[in-house]
Amino acid sequence: MFSKVNRPLNTLYSGLRRYSTATDKFTINVNSLVVEKTKTPLPKYTDKNKLVFGKEFSDHMVEVAWDANSGWGVPKISGYHNLSLPPSASVFHYALECFEGMKAYKDANGKIRLFRPMENMNRLYKSAERICLPTFNKEAVLELIKQMVLLDKDWIPEGRGYSLYLRPTMIATQKSLGVGTPQTALMFVIASPVGPYYPEGFKPVKLLADDRYVRAWVGGSGGFKLGSNYAPTIFPQLEAAKKGFQQVLWLLNDQITEVGTMNMFVFWKNNDGQMELITPPLSDGTILPGITRDSIIKLANQWGEFKVVEKNFTMSELAKAIKEGRVKEAFGAGTAAIVSPICSIHYKGQDYPIPIDAAKGAGALTARVADTLMGIQYGEIPSEWSVVLN
């Protein structure tokens, strides 16, 4: 299936950085990377406008196996393929799995870019650590991702809003039952070409604020990107959809936490009469530290036009503020959509409408955040957040 590339890596990829050849159990040696180019390329999309998120995948993937005795093995880039795992693998029984979501962009000059990729590596590291999966040298994993992206750069759709979605993942592969620290693991990275989240403009969403279900709790794992955090949210989401709502607004003792799989922001006039952008804090571990979330906070602070606050607030407080006309905008934030405008929240049998610019489908701040972040991601706005690969 594969054709092995025998040329030295520094010839194949002139930009490859040199890393320490240390052989401790938590170091991945990028210098030993093996690249096997596929001989059977996957069917490639013919119409980028018909791309569906996560349905098509690029030709290659990254794999690195880990063993408690010998540490990380030889990293490999090869053709996209099925994994072979024993049915007793820990990932199937105890959800020992974590992942990341990031994107590669092609700018107007054809250069390939990543958006704040080291932040994804930091979060993946913390997620792995939280569920006792092996840690790793972050720069090495990022370099492997870069090399795969460059190899599959033709899979990146051109145009603003289009990208190659990257999914670094780590799973426990130990072939024995029993809850405990896994002795073997696998890290892999796959990629999927995706189009704009809102191809025809913003589509504001209606939320159901329902306290019957809890996404995360203090002392739990909500602050980490684990597969086990997502499976329990599907049933409440289906229930909300049946009632005509697009997303669930997750509450914890009436405190607002997240919206769907995104971080939550509200732009309002606070009790002191100041305009304020508020989002729940990361302090109690229930909120996922989103890279988009952090970027919005930093941008808003740079603009300096209103107060930016990371603070707990309740749905009761938000409902009161909506009734009093103090809420100007609300939106979710995440990698896939950047921002998702919210037009109403259903809470305790009552709908609470949130202002939306009908022409734009979003409030002025929501649209500004989206436009600014996309400008950075596609190299239109100079920023150290945008990392050029070629």
Question: Which residue segments constitute the domains of the chain, with CATH numbers given?
Answer: 2-196 (3.30.470.10), 205-377 (3.20.10.10)
Q: Is the pLDDT of residue 8 over 60?
A: no
76-109: pLDDT as tens digits:
999 999 999 999 999 999 999 999 999 999 999 9
Supply the pLDDT for residue 5.
40
pLDDT in tens, 247-302: 999 999 999 999 999 999 999 999 999 999 999 999 999 999 999 999 999 999 99
Asked which of 6-20, 79-93, 195-209, 324-338 is least confident by mean pLDDT, the reply is 6-20
SS3 content of the chain, % helix, strand, coil (to 5): 25, 30, 45
The predicted structure's pLDDT at residue 345: 98
Query: What residues are paired with 77 via a beta bridge?
Result: 35, 62
pLDDT in the model for residue 390: 82
Does 10 have pLDDT greater than 70?
A: no
- Containing H/E element for 195? none
The answer to whether the CB of 260 falls within 8 A of the CB of 247 is yes
- β pairing state of 102-106 and 76-79: unpaired
Q: Which amino acid is at 41?
A: P
Report the alpha-carbon distance of residue 297 to residue 301 in Å, rounded: 6
Local structure of residue 41 (DSSP, 8 states): P
Contacts of 100 (CB under 8 A, 6+ apart): 120, 121, 123, 124, 127, 166, 167, 168, 169, 225
101-123 b/e (C-beta count within 10 Å ≥ 16 → b): bbbbbbbeeeebbbbbbebbbeb
How does pLDDT run across 32-61, given as a tens digit for each residue? 999 999 999 999 999 999 999 999 999 999
Residue 47 CB neighbour total at 10 angstroms: 8
Q: What is the pLDDT of residue 23?
A: 53
Judging by DSSP bridges, how do beta strands 327-334 and 60-67 pair with one another?
A: unpaired
Q: Which residues, 6+ apart, have CB-to-CB distance to 84 below 8 Å?
A: none
